[in-house]
Amino acid sequence: MYGIAQPLGIVVRMLAVLVLVAGSYNPSGYSYYHWAFQGGADYWALKILLGLLIIFGYVFCVAATVRSLRLLLGVPLLLVIGSALWLLSNEGWLDLSDWLQRTLALEAALVIVLGTGVSFSLIRYRLSGQLDSRTISY
């Protein structure tokens, strides 16, 4: 049971979600979207395979987020992120009328929501000591 909820596990999961989100689309032009849909017409088998893996990654992350956060924690998390974006916009630190800043803010919000959902069982164990049912062995 040692090491089950180390902060490194949470960081690794958040980084994996960041790689998934930023790798599928980002405004820099170096992403799956830009390579597959705005690139050349070659390597279609590889593009389809990677696209399916990205879809699988999103389905896994969304399912884990819905299963772990549910409405009881998912809605407040979205409200906190939305109000934080609103505060940053009101203070002038974030210009939501700018396409680049708006895209990066939405991607950051997606990473926070999916990353929290994927690593919530570790967070819950770290805060309360409550084990997930899959970590109990006989």
Mean pLDDT score of the chain: 88
Is it the case that residue 85 has pLDDT exceeding 80? yes
The pLDDT tens digits of the residues spanning 91-107 come to 999 999 999 999 999 99
Domain spans in the chain, listed from the N-terminal domain onward: 7-135
Q: Determine contact, residues 20/57, Cβ cutoff 8 Å.
A: yes
| C-alpha dihedral, 35 to 103 to 120 to 64, nearest 10° | -50
* pTM to 2 decimal places: 0.84
130 versus 67: the higher-pLDDT residue is: 67
Matching residue, tokens 């992350």? 61
